[in-house]
Every structure is written in C-alpha cells, then in structure tokens.
Chain A
Amino acid sequence: MSGFTHLNVASAFSGHYGVTRPELLDEAAVALGFDALAVADRDGLYGSVKHIGACLKLGIQPIVGVNLCVLSETGEALARCVILAHGQNRGAGWAKLCAITSAAHAGRRNNNKREYPVAIKRSKLAQLIGDDGGCTILLGPDSDVGRATLASSQGAGGSQGAGGAQGAAQSALAAWLACFKLPGSLAIEVVTHLTEPGTAYSTLQAQRMLQLADHNKVPAVLTNAVRYLQPDDALTADVLDAARFLEPLGFFEPQPNAQAWLKPSEAMHAIAVEVAGDRTRALQLIETTNRLAARCKLDAPNDCGWGKPKTPEKSALGIDGNPFEVLWQKAHDGIERFYPRASARTLQEVQHRLSKELITISKLGFATYFLTVADVAQMIRDMKIRSQARGSGAGSLVNYLLGISGVDPIEHDLLFERFLSTERSSLPDIDIDVESARRHDIYNAIFKRYGSSRVTLLSMQSTYRGRGAMRDSGLALGLEDDQIDDIAKNMWRFSARSFRGALGTKPELAKFAEAVEEDRRMNLLVDITERLDRLPRHISMHPCGVILGDTSLLQLTSVEPSGMGLPMSQFDKDDMDPMGMLKLDVLGVRMQSAMAYAVREAARVRGEAIDLDNVPRDDAATYKLIRTTDTLGIFQIESPGQRELTGKHQPTEFNDLTIQISLFRPGPMKGNMIAPYLDGRHGFAKPDFIHRDLEPILRESWGIVIFHEHVLRILNVMTGCGLARADEFRRSLENPRVKPIVEEFFRRETKLRGYPQAVIDRVWSILEGFSSFGFCKAHGAAFALPTYQSAWLKTHYPTEFMAGLFTHDPGMYPRRLLLSEARRLGVKILPLNVNRSTDEYLVEKVARKTTDVNEPEIGVRMSLVDVQGISNAEIARIIAEQPFDSVGDFYMRAKPSRRTLERLALVGALDELTGDTAATRGDIMARVRQLNSVKTRPTLRSDQPTLDFEIGEQLPTGNAEPTLAQKINDELNIMHMDVSDHVIEQYRPMLDAMGVLRSDELVGLRSKTDVLVAGVRVATQTPPMRSGKRVVFITLDDGAGCSDATFFDEAQSRCSSVLFNTRLMVIAGKTRRTGVRGVSLMAENAWDLTELWNQWLAAKAS
C-alpha cells in the first residue's frame, strides 16, 4: 500500500483542545515518514502559519484547514466539520478558507466564545464555497450524519438492525448533498478511535459511515481526528477539556480513550482494513485520502502570499508617482525642519548619512513601507496625541526626518545598520509609543484612513505560565478556590515545567511540598501543572499591533472580532514576517498619557503652554532631582533596582540616562558589567579600552561593551567587514550553529590586521559573552526621552505631574505610594469633595495658608474613581449635577446608591455640604443614615413638595468627629489610599519605642549598621541573578521615602511566612552602602507589623 496523510489534526492552537504545537507535529510527521500533514485548528487558522513555516523548513507539504461548528437554518448545531483548503490554485482555496473562517466569527460582538459561539450556517458555508469550490468539507463522526448512524445501534444485531438508523443518516447526508452539489466539495470522514462497539468513534460507526458513503457515491477519506502527538498526551487533553468546559474532571463526559494520536502509516492502514473489511476497499479508502491530500497541498508563496511584502497601495497613501521619489523629497524637506541652524559640517554629515540610508531603502524596495509609517505618524500628530518611536527605528535618520522618531541619530551617535541593511530583507519593526488613553482612537482612525479591507489588528496567543497552569489544573481536579489561591500566592519566579523541582528548593512552597507528600490530589496537581505549562491558553488582541496591507489582506488572513470590536487577524506577531505582512506597533504608554495630562493641567490652571518635546535636554535642576534618587513616578528609573543604580551612577546628562536604562537589564547584570562601568566613571579604576582602536568606540561607557552599536563598530573596526555585515555577525552570535563561522572570520581578519593574540582573545570572549546581553542604543535613547521628560515635569511641575500619575497610573507602584511621594514633595493633597471631584485628578487653585512664597497655590483634588464600588453612572451623575448645597440635595440629584452615599460620607466627600463649620463628620453620617433609611427614594418633581429633602436641611447634631486613625482607616478601606496622613503614623509610638528608623535617615548611616525599618510594602521583586540563586527584594514606604531590603536564602527561609504576603512590615537588617546616595538593607529578619502592634498593645495593657 502507498503512504498515508493525516487530514484532521488539531494543534495546540486549537485552544483548550489540541495538545501539541504544530512545529512538533510536523517534526514527528517527518520522523514517521509522512510527506505531508494537515493542521486544522478549531475555530481558526491560529496555528497555520507556524505549521506552513515548519513544513517548508522540514521539506514536507503543508495542508491547512479549519475545524468549525456548522449550524442549521434554525441555529441548531449540525456538525463539527473540518474544512480543507485546496492548494495550487493561486490562493483561491486559501482565500475561501479565510473567508469561511472569518464568517464563522462574524456577528460575534466580542471574543467571548461562551457568549458568542463560533459557528457558521450551512447555507452561508454553501454560499461561500459557491460554484467554483476551492474547499472540501469533511463530514465525520461529530456530524448529524455520524450521530444518526449510531441512533438505534445500541441493541445487538449489527448492521441489519440499523436500517432505521441508516435511513436517518441517509436523509441527513442527503440534506448536505443538496447544499454542496459541486463534486469534491463534500467528503465523508471515516474515523475510529476503537471505542466501545456502537458508540461514537467506534469501528462500527466508521463501518456504517463508509457504507453510507459508498451507497451515495460520496468520496470517503480516513483520518484519526488527531488532537495530540502521543498517547501519553491524552492526559493533558483531559485537563484541557476540563478547562474548556469549566468543570472538574468527572463532571462531564470525558474523551473515550487515548486513541486520538498521530498514528503512523502502518497503523492507519491496519485501521483501514479493520473498517473496510477487505484489502481492496481499504486500499481505495487510503487512496482517496491521499488524492484529497494532494489536492490540498499548499504552494505557500502562490497560495498564501508567503514571504511577499504587502503594503498599502499608493492611492491609499495619497501619493502619485514613484514612491521612492516621494520618500526622497519628504526626507530632504525634513533637513530644513530638523536642522535649521546646523553647521556646514553637520549638514554634510546629515546629507551623507541620508544618501546612505535612502540607497538601502531603495535597494530593499521599502519606500512604501516608510511612507506608510510616516503617514500614520503624521496622522497621530494631527490628532494632537503624544507619540514617540521606540526600538532600533530610532537609529534611522529617515525616521527622524519623516517625523516618525523624536531622537536625532546623528547627535546620539546611533547606527542605521542595526535597524535596516541590505543583508536582511525582512520588513523592519518600527514601534510607535502613544498616549495609552488615546490608543483606541488611533486604531479607529487607522481603520478609517486606510479602510477595513486593508487593516486588521494583530492577535496574541497567551500561553500557560506558572500560576495560570496551576489554577486550571486545580480546577480540573476540583480543588477549592481558596486552596488554589493559597498555592498560587506562593508561586514566585519559576517555570511551571519544573514545579516538582521547585518544591524542594523554595522555602515558601515548603508547606505545599508537605501537602504533596500526603495528598494524592496535590501530587496530581503538580504533574498536570507541569503538563499545561507553555501551552497556548487563549487568543486576545495584541496590545499594540496593527496590520496594514493592500486590499488583498482579508484574502490572506482570517479575522475575528477583538475585545474592542475591531477585526483582528488570527495570526500573531511571529506570523507577520513569514506572511510578508506589515505590522505597525502602536503601543499605548501610560506615561505618555500622564505627561500629556500634566501639560494639559498646566495650561488649564496656570495658562502655561509647555512644549515638552522641545524643552532643553540639559536642565541642571532635572538631573539634580534624578541624582537624589527620588525617582518614583519617573519613566523607566523608578524601580527599586533603578533607584539604587541611580544613587551609584549619578547621571548628569542625557546620554547617562540612555546608558543607565540599557545597563539595568538582566544581561549586563548577569555579566557583571555595572561595577566596572561605575568604577571607570567615578575614577576608582582606570578604564581599560583593550586596544587604542576601541577607545573612541567605548569612551562613553568607560571601556564596557553595552550597546549593540558597540559590537557593530568593534567588528567593523577590527575586521573591516562594514557595519551592515557586522550586524549580521552580531545576530549570528546568538545562534550556536553559526557562531563558529563568525569566530573563525573574526580571528582570521583581526590576525591579518596585526592585532596581538591577547587582544583578539579578549575581544572575542567579550563579543561571545555579549550575545545574550546587549541592548540597542537607539532603543535606550528612545526610552531615555520620556525618562527625561517625566523627570523634567516632576522637577518643575510636581503638582500637575503627580495629578497625571494619579489619573493614568503609569508605573509599577500602587497609587497610595504615589500619594505618599506627592505629600513628601510638598504637593497639596485636596480631599475628596463631591462638589469638586471628578473622574480625574484635577489640579485646583488653592489659597496659601501661610505667608511662605514657596507654598504652592495649587493642589491635586482626589478623584471619585477611587471610591470602592462606585459605578460609572454614579460618577457621571455627580459630575453632571455639581454643585450641591446640602446632603439632601446631593442625595436627590446625584442619586447615589446607599452604599456609595455612606462611603462618600465616611471619607469626607460630603464635609463641605454642611455649610456649618461646627458640624462634624459624625453629624453628616447621622444624616446619611436618615436618608438611607427611607425605603423608596422620592423622585424630584416640580409638582411635588419634597418636604424632607428641601434646602436648608437640619443636620443632626452632637455626633463625634472620628479620630484621625479612624479616618485613615476608612480611607484605606474605601479608597485604598491614606489621604489624610500616612498609614504608618498611627503605629509611630511603638515604632519609636522600638527604635525603628525613618527611611530618609538611612542615607546618613555607615555601612553595616544594624537597623530596623518599617512601612507598607510597595514592591516585591525576584530578579534573575548572576549566581542563579533567587534573591527577593522588598521595598517599604514609610512616608519619608522608600527603603529597600534584600533577602538572601537564609533570610528567606527565616521569614518565609511574611515574605510575599504581608502588607505592613518591620524589617531588621544591616545597612549596605552602594554609592553616594545609595543605601539598602541586607535583611536578616522580618515581621508582620500588625502582629507586633497587637503584642505591644497587649503588653502595654498588662
């Protein structure tokens, strides 16, 4: 017999159904001797590009289909069918498959598959397949036909007794044949999973399906309805089923057995014989299968547009003539705009560089691509939205001159070759950061500008990681939610794939490890969590990707609705390059929104227009603020580690920020590059440039190789290879197979040029080690810009800036820490007030209370959005009805729910409504309780007297004002912020008695002083370490600033109970000086502050 081709295979991209990634299936197919393989994922073409790519790489033929639910006219599910695209027809079959798949998602308003199931009506499917075919539908066991063959076979008697069943199956098939008259558009799929005779997927069912096909002269093909590679994977499939049904195992009908694996050819032939009964018919079955396979083999370039770049047509970009000439003109126009006062020498450099870049772009034929990105960038600017290019694109002068990037590559010494060169032909990535709050506006504008036939959003497949894998595993085993929560809380920084290994080594898992010893279910939990790890979990909208193409886009990709409603491609970012699709990253950055907000508030309240993109980048006050390490809220350098580094580094200019951002990465930290850099900078050690040729390249970094640009220049200088090839070599360093070739080239060329052997050896070891480290300087510089801008705002407009941070929440810290920082900066915090608060944190003018001219005349008003449980409708009503003149008036017009009214009163938002300074918050609460006790709320109508709610209400009197501690407690409960005062203050008597230091006192201490600090936990980090050991960093805020404590192994095991989950802490440790302004604690022990407090109170009482 000839070979066999599997036509029904679901990959792991069949969410919560398939188990094996397409690449693995393809590799296995090769090992099994198959010359082709189909992947047909459930509900989409999710895995198809990866499948095609793997097939091309492995030299087998790709076949692609989709597995869809087909509905009757009345909406009942008829079948789950595999629909295969025919190939070698210049994309006709592929386009149809895309259209069918997209149609199955049309009408779903969002990507909630529960609410809007993915399905297509049979009539719609017939209409799409039409008269010219292009696809074949497989009707298998999971169809009305397949189910009908079983209908009356439960009793004994075999095929004779099933006459009635065959009758029902016959008429079900007839209905399909009536819809799909075109020969070849319908086939019967014969499958047996060797289940109990007479049940679904049994050999008996397969036999009846085959008889039915023969009787009706419909082609029959054999598949194994594969959903995993090996029998062992069936266990994983069970767990995925539980996740799909959202039910524990045992609560739903599980798969019948473990037969749905990628069986080898011989096994499939044996099945054919078992089903057909005789070898001739079996042979026919295999041959029909292989013939359909041959018809479906895709010619990737011609069927799917594989590897062919697609950009919008000239007409869509509004250009006439040659795109390159248009680009040339636009770039040259930019010279005058961006270099108005440049010297002749600079202009010459600009001209030279520009010509070089344009030649490369012309050679690659990417002019349209650049024009497209420039067009989008211009559109964003026209919308008055802050934007900023990031990534290697900032290294391009063309990008700067077209207004795509805001960083001058000449001034910052950035290389174009790192971004684009003739050595590579893939479309480069240009990423644009925009205000996060306006991101969707931009997406909508892009769809409007280019038309929905040319644009889709990009999707993203999220995968199972540690906690997610454990949660779904726990659900499958029917564990209690809080049991799952308990375990999840202690899962920190390890791959779920090595869950069992982590049990023995992580102190916080010690309790769970004991449970695993004793409890069989916990043991299973560990095993299946490891199985789920890394599997695709669900598809969602990519946070920033937009695909721009020509009008053929929707014939090349299937789409489904995204969370925001706009269509989204079923392909992910890794699929873009192979498919030749242009992906533009428009990434929402909250900091950009926060800065735009600060600028807006400065204009509104002070009448000052700030041109943030053009403020001088050498403002001394700004660098001074950064050097104090009070960098909370500043882009990129606010984390505890960056603050520590800032203390040591003490930046004085823009390039320092670029370097610092690039240094604080896992690579340089692991490679121990920070210390020698700092030593060189501070003059503790003489910088070592290795060779005088390298000095000009590494002068900025004191002899340390930090940037990709350094590597390119070193390779170029020492071998003369040119910068473009140098970047190829740099990329090759990451590939262990190609690295030896680069090494040989490097050693040969450097030797020829007469470099001493010791220099060659040293430089090579640095380059070799660099492969995993480096950072693109253009990227660092692009990041440094918002870093500088946010620091500048914090320095000169702290109130507006903090208001922007509160409103857009850009950073890593909770809002209450920012509040503490604002208070520390002297920014006035204005309490919640229903007459003034809105859905934003507005800046307000306030009168000075003192004669101090430094006292700000503005403050930040707290926002209604932080009140727990308040609805958007309530906020909108409050804003619309402002101002109010009494509690009753507020009650009548703002119509808050009882709970919201009470909460607003508790945090003082109604204090101003009394008009009576003698009234206490207790009185207001009493009034609120009066109002809340009314059963039905009276309506405000002019023809009805509203007796009790008239203006001039009488407040109850004589109720006590709550204490400050009570107020803070209410604020924390309701707003999660201590607005009136820092929460730690109420514990001050005990802390003073214990000798606990304030965080700002630490900087004055010597190294290795024993201290106690206390505060609210604001950050917990477990960064990767050079030694591979885990280190836990905890940052506490005590109102005076932050203190950072480091827990090594011993300290971790000593305080494992408080390590990750305690909010208010006291930490004991030794100070460790790390630089001029740098101090951190080596933690020795830690306690729960509230527990200490209770003990202290008890001790005091006795």
Chain B
Amino acid sequence: MLRIDEKVSVLVNQLGEPIGFSWRGASYLVNSKPVRWFARKQWWVDAARVQRGIGAGVLEVEMWRLQASRSESDRAQFELIHNAQSNSWQLARIFN
C-alpha cells in the first residue's frame, strides 16, 4: 500500500461515479464498479470549530475504491477522496 495524498482530476459519469482520472501526467481508466464509502475524521484533533450546523464535512469524508489502469499490465486498486463541497478529488492510497 502506498500513501499518496495528491490532487488528481477526475472524470465522472452521470451517477457521479469516477470513470477515469489523471495523475502525475498519466491517464487512468477505471475498470471496475467503483465502491463509494464514508470514512471519518478526528475533528477533535484538527477542526477549528464544530458549532451547530457546521455540517458533517468536519466529521466524515467521501471515499471511492476502484480498480484502474494506465495500460493492460499495471492494474491496481486506488482510493480517491472526494470533497463534495469544492468538488475536488485527491488520490489517497494505491494498493497493488
């Protein structure tokens, strides 16, 4: 497993599921049904405020687990983080 934590640009389908992304100049094509899940954050360690109504974004984070590849040979499992508020993506981890 590799921790990456770098911004990536992601292409999504109508359901909002990633179908491809580019990272470090290379394009990756998703070739599995991506699984979305929600992980949590330790807001007591890093949040500045948690007042009523601040929203669950302080607590949880949307994750996507998917298989993708650059070419036929180097298929791997990737984990992407989606920030719904800014609609930005981050590559979190790669599993071989």
* A interface, CB within 8 angstroms of B: 193-197, 202-203, 231-232, 234-235, 238, 249-250, 254-259, 476-477, 500, 520-521, 523-524, 527-528, 530-531
Contact = CB atoms under 8 A, between A and B. Distances in A.
A421 to B, nearest CB: 43
Given A193-B38, A232-B52, A256-B40, 18 more contacts: A194-B36, A195-B38, A196-B37, A203-B37, A231-B56, A232-B53, A234-B56, A234-B59, A235-B43, A254-B40, A254-B42, A256-B38, A257-B40, A257-B60, A524-B47, A524-B50, A527-B49, A527-B51
B91 interface: no
Contacts of B40: 254-258
Contacts of B44: 238, 249-250, 476-477, 521, 524
Contact of A235 (B37, B48, B50, B63): B50
B58 interface: yes
A197 B60 contact: no
Interface residues of B, number: 25
Contacts of A256: 38-40
B2 interface: no
Given A197-B65, A249-B44, A531-B52, A234 B60 contact: yes
A232 B55 contact: yes
A528 B43 CA distance: 12
B29 to A, nearest CB: 21
B1 interface: no
A208 to B, nearest CB: 15
A748 B91 CA distance: 75
Contacts of A476: 44
Contacts of A521: 44
A500 B51 CA distance: 10
A500 B50 CA distance: 12
Contacts of A477: 44
B15 to A, nearest CB: 10
A257 B38 CA distance: 6
Contacts of A202: 37
B48 A523 contact: yes
Nearest to A202: B37
A511 B47 CA distance: 23
B4 interface: no
6 contacts: A197-B35, A235-B54, A249-B42, A249-B44, A258-B56, A527-B49
B52 A530 contact: yes
B37 A194 contact: yes
A530 B54 CA distance: 13
Contacts of B26: none
Contact of B54 (A232, A254, A255): A232
Contacts of B56: 231-232, 234-235, 258
Nearest to B35: A197
B41 to A, nearest CB: 9
Contacts of B49: 523-524, 527
Contacts of A196: 37, 39, 63
A250 B40 CA distance: 12
A523 B44 CA distance: 11
A193 B60 CA distance: 12
Contacts of A249: 42, 44
A700 to B, nearest CB: 49
B59 A197 contact: no
A255 B42 CA distance: 11
Nearest to B43: A235
Contacts of A235: 43, 50, 54, 56, 58-59
Contacts of A259: 38, 60
Contacts of A250: 42, 44-45
A520 B60 CA distance: 20
Contact of A195 (B37, B48, B50, B55): B37
A194 B38 contact: yes
A203 B51 CA distance: 31
B9 to A, nearest CB: 24
A194 B56 CA distance: 14
B37 A197 contact: yes
B62 to A, nearest CB: 9
A193 B47 CA distance: 23
A523 B49 CA distance: 7
B67 to A, nearest CB: 11
Contacts of B51: 500, 527, 530
Interface string B10-44: 00000000000000000000000001111110111
A249 B43 CA distance: 9
Contacts of B36: 194
Nearest to A237: B59
B37 to A, nearest CB: 5
A567 to B, nearest CB: 38
Nearest to B48: A520
Task: List the 9 closest pairs (A to B, CB-CB), nearest first.
Answer: A231-B56, A258-B56, A257-B38, A257-B60, A527-B51, A258-B60, A249-B44, A527-B50, A258-B59
Contacts of A531: 50, 52
B34 to A, nearest CB: 11
A752 B78 CA distance: 84
A175 B72 CA distance: 49
A452 to B, nearest CB: 44
A699 to B, nearest CB: 52
Nearest to A197: B35
Nearest to B52: A531
Nearest to A477: B44
Most chain A beta-carbon neighbours within 10 Å: one of B50, B54, B58 = B50
Contacts of B59: 231, 234-235, 238, 257-258
Contacts of A258: 38, 40, 56, 59-60
Nearest to B38: A257
Interface in B49-92: 49-56, 58-60, 63, 65
A235 B51 CA distance: 9
